[in-house]
Structure 1
Amino acid sequence: MIINKHIMRTTNEKQVLQQIVNEGPISRSQISRNLSLNKVTVSDIYSELLHEGLIREVGHGVSTRNGGRKPVMALLNVDYGYVLSINILRQRFTILTCQLDGKSHDYASVSTKNVDLTTVLDMIEDRINQVIEQHENKLLGWAFGLDGMIYDNQILDAGLKGLKNFDLAKYFGDKFNIPVVLENIANQSAIFERDFSGEGVYRDLVAVTIRDQVSAGIITNGHLYRGHRGEAGVIGKCPLADRYQEEANETVNHYVSETAVLKQIMACQQLNRVDVNRIRRDYLGHDQKLLQILDEFSYYLAKVLGNISSSFAPDAILLNAPILELLPELMDDVRSYVDKLAIPRKAPLLLTKNAKEASLMGGASAVIHKVLGLDDLQLTFSNQRDVVLEQLES
């Protein structure tokens, strides 16, 4: 077997950088041991990364029991640059700035109600320029997330009018000359659960997002599964038997989507807008009409989750839904309905830890992978390590 030396070198470079991102602060000798690479190779790659400014040295670690020189420890240099993650939703877009280590800040939500798509794109461009002006570091790339079907960075279908077949990545990539990554929101949520929950916690998971559409992001053996032309996880359009008349069928979106449920609640409360405080108050006050709507939602959602559990047998199913974040007590009802289903596999049902920012942070992770050249490798963010460091001498 002939091994291409260039490919081997590239592979080694990626693995060394991955070690520094995931395990830093870390020494060259520890990287060498972890990867079973000789110290000369690791030192050569380490020096190149240091010269490029992609990593930085932060102090000395503890010497071995045998004494000797204390190792110099290195971290990813978060001042090298930053990324943006933007979600385009039905009546707003949300934006988040992220460091290369996954730490986020400057979340913003901008209303686009009654605004056409061209104006929305101009608003997004203005907001990006504002972020650039506020940061001294370089913008390295950004991610767009939306409800729809995306394949090979192209929008094949979208919930928002005008976005289908629009080359959003090229539109903004040409304007700013940096990488743009497109993904649907469910896939972004799945990436978030994989990369921010801790190393190896979820190797097989399904993240279900409930917004205008009901979608599933699927991680299998640590990798995002998109299916044929990105069609995996488009569960909102699947038929679902009616609770009372099995011969009657509507789509999952009809029964479970946030839009459908909130419309019923607004009609019940005789309001023309969503009042989250009123919803919470009426729920705690046992308003029977509201409880009936939410019971229907829980019942149909349980049907969907039962099918997912049986079909994919994931380690867990993570739910990203504002209505469940508002009323987490509903999870007990959903679990109860799932328990009554005659299915062999009932995966744990969990609420995502950060519904508001989960998909945005998943998008940030996707673009961080891209700009670091680590698309095919696992990155674990927010990995806090207790390391004894001494300041480097200037």
Structure 2
Amino acid sequence: MIINKHIMRTTNEKQVLQQIVNAGPISRSQISRNLSLNKVTVSDIYSQLLHEGLIREVGHGVSTRNGGRKPVMALLNVGYGYVVSINILRQRFSMITSRLDGRSENYASVSTRDVDLTTVLDMIDEKIATTVAESDNRLLGIAFGLDGTIYENQILGASLKGFKNFDLAKYFSDKFQVPVILENLANESAIYERDFAGEGVYRNLISVTIRDQVSAGIVTEGHLYRGHNGEAGNIGTCPLADRYQEKSMQTVNQYVAEGTVLQRIMAYQKLDHVDVNRIRRDYLGHRPELLAILDEFSYYLAKVLGNLSNTFAPDAIIVNAPILELLPEMMDTVRKYVDDMSIIRKAPLLLTKNAKEASLKGGASAIIHKALGLDDLQLTFSNQRSAVLEGVES
């Protein structure tokens, strides 16, 4: 009924499985009531899911007021298999494995500095193969996230050299014989905010991701909005007027992208690497050079967020940026600059609770949806792991 030959086909089957994923432990009678389906239909589907090993029974619930047998309760069997989610950035790739309930494990970050595309692919291949060899469960799917334009599982544009028009999905699907999906980092972050924040908390949201590029993942009425050929959210290439000379224009990436800001910080610190402890120490010590750089970043980021807020009127805008996770106090400055703007709609501006893993976990959710045949249905996962900042991408 799932995975490969057993793809879920009917609406009823999908909805029963969705109930068990989102509301388990749950009984057949409760599923029947929730979906307004007759008990025979639910029992048939339930029995098939149990036979496939996708769900497991976990004891009995409470009997009704009228007495009778206590109902058998069922949960998703998270031991059925696992998925892998990988983010490929300019000088590193990161990876997690996730169970079917969205709980992530085995975070790893691997440097790819001065490494060509072929070697990067070999490194990823080896990392996945090692994971498969060491696991007692089945690999059910792989998700890849990267900066760029992705449409119908193809890379139409990418900031990473060699990835444009390369069929990354087929390359790894052929190697590991599992479904592979591609998504850009901002869309993955938006999926994370939708699926891990709690059901219905954000039906309309924008996740702004600041990495090699500045991009936005847009969720409208619970669904990801991709636009023409997946081009929605490519805000990094939009022009912004210079703060001091309005006739002078630069792109959002040139003002706000992570690399630009970090290069300016390293230049004033006279370092050839990013020292997150030094950045934090200089910020708390009110070093004027650093404060000036961060004020510029905050000003231009506020322009981007204010325009998004006024244009899309989301329930919230969530910002995913390692520099802001390191210095969360900066969000007060960003909010102040947005408040100064003459716009009608000013959505709540929030920091993601998991900058390091948000896009990875969003990718995991996307491939879990695919593996379970529930692409078009809402799944809600608990945010069961908190990330600790290990460093800012450089």
**TM-score, length basis structure 1:** 0.95
TM alignment of 1:133-172, pairs within 5 A: 133-172=133-172
Rounded Cα–Cα distance in structure 1 between residues aligned with 2:375 and 2:254: 36
Rounded Cα–Cα distance in structure 1 between residues aligned with 2:383 and 2:233: 29
- SS across alignment from 1:377: coil
Rounded Cα–Cα distance in structure 2 between residues aligned with 1:80 and 1:100: 8
Rounded Cα–Cα distance in structure 1 between residues aligned with 2:20 and 2:298: 44
Rounded Cα–Cα distance in structure 1 between residues aligned with 2:184 and 2:53: 32
Aligned AA for 2:335? Answer: R
| Alpha-carbon contact 1:299-1:337 (below 8 Å) kept | yes
Rounded Cα–Cα distance in structure 1 between residues aligned with 2:226 and 2:320: 19
**Offset at residue 360 of structure 1 (A):** 0.3
TM alignment of 1:298-377, pairs within 5 A: 298-377=298-377
- SS across alignment from 1:236: helix
Residue of structure 2 equivalent to 1:261: 261
Q: How many residues align?
A: 377
**Offset at residue 64 of structure 1 (A):** 1.0
Tell me: CA distance 1:47–1:383, structure 2 relative to 1, closer, same or farther (3 Å).
Answer: farther
**Offset at residue 383 of structure 1 (A):** 8.2
Asked if residue 29 in structure 1 is aligned to residue 29 in structure 2, the reply is yes
**Offset at residue 9 of structure 1 (A):** 7.1
Aligned AA for 2:327? Answer: L
- SS across alignment from 1:343: coil
Tell me: CA distance 1:319–1:89, structure 2 relative to 1, closer, same or farther (3 Å).
Answer: same
Rounded Cα–Cα distance in structure 1 between residues aligned with 2:174 and 2:135: 21
> Percentage identity across aligned positions?
79
Aligned AA for 1:59? Answer: G
- The C-alpha deviation readout for 1:344-371, integer Å capped at 9, x for no partner, is 0000000001000000000000000001
Residue of structure 2 equivalent to 1:213: 213
Residue of structure 1 equivalent to 2:389: none
Query: Which ranges of 4 or more aligned residues in structure 1 deviate by more than 3 Å?
Result: none
Tell me: CA distance 1:195–1:156, structure 2 relative to 1, closer, same or farther (3 Å).
Answer: same
Contiguous gaps of at least 5 residues in structure 2: 1-7, 385-394
Rounded Cα–Cα distance in structure 2 between residues aligned with 1:142 and 1:69: 42
Residue of structure 1 equivalent to 2:241: 241
Rounded Cα–Cα distance in structure 2 between residues aligned with 1:216 and 1:230: 12
Aligned AA for 2:23? Answer: E
| Alpha-carbon contact 1:22-1:383 (below 8 Å) kept | no
Aligned AA for 1:93? Answer: F
| Alpha-carbon contact 1:23-1:383 (below 8 Å) kept | no
- SS across alignment from 1:66: coil
Aligned AA for 2:189? Answer: S
- The C-alpha deviation readout for 1:283-329, integer Å capped at 9, x for no partner, is 11010011000000000000000000001000000000000000000
**TM-score, length basis structure 2:** 0.95
Residue of structure 2 equivalent to 1:84: 84
Contiguous gaps of at least 5 residues in structure 1: 1-7, 385-394
Rounded Cα–Cα distance in structure 1 between residues aligned with 2:292 and 2:248: 20
Asked if residue 119 in structure 1 is aligned to residue 119 in structure 2, the reply is yes
Rounded Cα–Cα distance in structure 2 between residues aligned with 1:50 and 1:240: 56
Residue of structure 2 equivalent to 1:390: none
Tell me: CA distance 1:238–1:15, structure 2 relative to 1, closer, same or farther (3 Å).
Answer: same
**Offset at residue 66 of structure 1 (A):** 1.3
Rounded Cα–Cα distance in structure 2 between residues aligned with 1:51 and 1:72: 15
TM alignment of 1:192-203, pairs within 5 A: 192-203=192-203
| Alpha-carbon contact 1:140-1:178 (below 8 Å) kept | yes
**Offset at residue 133 of structure 1 (A):** 1.0
**Offset at residue 14 of structure 1 (A):** 0.2
Aligned AA for 2:49? Answer: L
Residue of structure 1 equivalent to 2:177: 177
Residue of structure 2 equivalent to 1:278: 278
| Alpha-carbon contact 1:83-1:98 (below 8 Å) kept | yes
- SS across alignment from 2:347: coil
Rounded Cα–Cα distance in structure 2 between residues aligned with 1:130 and 1:233: 35
Rounded Cα–Cα distance in structure 2 between residues aligned with 1:268 and 1:103: 40
| Alpha-carbon contact 2:103-2:383 (below 8 Å) kept | no
Asked if residue 58 in structure 1 is aligned to residue 58 in structure 2, the reply is yes
| Alpha-carbon contact 1:21-1:101 (below 8 Å) kept | yes
Residue of structure 2 equivalent to 1:229: 229
- SS across alignment from 1:172: helix
Aligned AA for 1:190? Answer: A
| Alpha-carbon contact 1:142-1:180 (below 8 Å) kept | yes
Residue of structure 2 equivalent to 1:3: none
Over the aligned positions, Cα root-mean-square deviation in angstroms equals 1.0
**Offset at residue 134 of structure 1 (A):** 1.1
**Offset at residue 204 of structure 1 (A):** 0.2
| Alpha-carbon contact 2:16-2:31 (below 8 Å) kept | yes
- SS across alignment from 1:40: helix
